[in-house]
């Protein structure tokens, strides 16, 4: 019934079976190796994509122009010096000219920052100016050291600057003509004194006018029987600061409301500030600068009256 294969046929058949088994084994080995080699690459790719990207901070650069208030000038100049040391690719140019000039300059794009002791006049209210309050500046009436009085009432000070009182003897001093030292109409200091002391009455046209606070200080210190007004960072022992209604300028007297001749110092930008001007204003507004340099320069922190 059965046909038996020859030895030759049996040998051929066995060889074929063995060859097929070998091929299957090699294929399995190749697949295993491929999967094994793909796993580290995939893991590396996954790890790389999961890593957060380290974006380097952009170094500040550019030029900032700030103009306006000479009352605020000492603070802005000090801040500019420090800021440029920390940011060597930034240049900050600071000039005075008066608060009105600073507001006009920032409104028309001449300056990046307009420094002012007062708020903008009505004509600038629609110019998109953004207010950054950076300090409080106490102001004082100052006199030459030969003036013998130490105090004026608010009414006496008003009468002197409106021209009703022209001799120191009329307010308890010696018989000497009063020499008025003014600031120009663009001055924020002048505006503050007009609002707070003169109740918006007009200044006398008598006297001399100085362009900035430093010049007022020099003029009063060097002119017999003179009177002027500056913010307190300009006051030194070359002249004398008067009390007003027997109240001296101090931080406590400003906080309790008994000393009223002071100004909130503003840095205006046209629209929201952009770097590097924004970074500069942020530096002045920082807790560190407000807590030390502002006081060292004889200003008071911007948030003093908000506490």
pLDDT at 306: 83
The CATH number of 62-136+264-306, from 3.60.90.10, 3.30.70.1170, 3.40.190.10, 3.30.930.10, is: 3.40.190.10
**How far is residue 110's CA from residue 97's CA, in Å, rounded to a whole number?**
13
- pTM score: 0.78
**Residue 140 is inside which H or E element, if any?**
strand 129-143
CB 136 within 8 A of CB 304: yes
Domain with CATH 3.40.190.10 in the chain: 62-136+264-306, 138-255
pLDDT at 227: 98
For the stretch 225-261, pLDDT in tens is 999 999 999 999 999 999 999 999 999 999 999 999 9
pLDDT class of 303 with cuts at 50, 70, 90: very high
**How far is residue 24's CA from residue 17's CA, in Å, rounded to a whole number?**
11
**How far is residue 91's CA from residue 105's CA, in Å, rounded to a whole number?**
18
Phi (first) and psi of residue 96, to 5 degrees: -95, -130
For the stretch 182-226, pLDDT in tens is 999 999 999 999 999 999 999 999 999 999 999 999 999 999 999
The residues, any chain, with a CB within 8 Å of residue 220's CB and separated by 6 or more, are 142, 143, 144, 181, 226, 227, 228, 239
**How far is residue 137's CA from residue 234's CA, in Å, rounded to a whole number?**
11
pLDDT class of 302 with cuts at 50, 70, 90: very high
Q: For the domain 138-255, what is the CATH code?
A: 3.40.190.10
39-68 burial, b if ≥16 CB within 10 A, otherwise e?
eeeeeeeeeeeeeeeeeeeeebeeebbbbb
Helix intervals (H) in the chain: 7-50, 73-86, 99-107, 154-161, 188-196, 213-222, 251-255, 277-285, 287-291, 293-296
In this prediction, what percent of the chain has a pLDDT beyond 70? 81
For the stretch 92-116, pLDDT in tens is 999 999 999 999 999 999 999 999 9
């Amino acid at each position: 019934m059965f046909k038996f294969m020859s030895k030759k046929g049996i040998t051929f058949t066995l060889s074929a079976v063995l060859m097929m088994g070998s091929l299957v084994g090699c294929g399995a080995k190749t697949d295993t190796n491929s999967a094994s080699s793909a796993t580290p690459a995939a893991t590396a790719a996954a790890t790389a994509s999961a890593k957060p990207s380290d974006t380097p901070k952009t170094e500040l650069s550019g030029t900032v122009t700030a103009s306006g208030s000479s009352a605020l000038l000492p603070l802005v100049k000090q801040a500019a010096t420090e800021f440029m040391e920390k940011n060597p690719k930034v240049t900050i140019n600071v000039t005075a000219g008066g608060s009105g000039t600073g507001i006009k300059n920032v409104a028309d794009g001449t300056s990046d920052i307009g420094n002012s002791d007062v708020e903008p006049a009505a004509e600038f209210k629609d110019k998109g100016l953004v207010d950054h309050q950076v300090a409080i500046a106490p102001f004082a009436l100052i006199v030459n050291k030969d003036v013998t009085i130490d105090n004026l009432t608010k009414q006496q000070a008003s009468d002197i600057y409106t021209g009703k009182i022209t001799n120191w003897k009329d307010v308890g001093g010696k018989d000497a003509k009063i020499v008025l030292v003014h600031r120009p109409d663009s001055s924020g200091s002048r505006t503050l004194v007009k609002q707070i002391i003169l109740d918006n009455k007009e200044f006398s046209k008598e006297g001399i006018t100085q362009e900035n606070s430093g010049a007022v200080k020099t003029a009063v210190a060097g002119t017999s029987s003179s009177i002027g007004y500056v913010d307190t960072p300009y006051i030194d022992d070359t002249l004398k600061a008067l009390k007003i209604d027997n109240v001296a300028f101090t931080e406590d007297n400003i906080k309790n409301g008994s000393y009223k001749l002071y100004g909130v110092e503003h840095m205006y930008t046209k629209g929201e500030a952009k770097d590097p001007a924004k970074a500069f204003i942020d530096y002045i507004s920082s807790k560190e600068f407000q807590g030390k340099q502002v006081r060292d320069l004889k200003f008071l922190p911007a948030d003093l009256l908000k506490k």
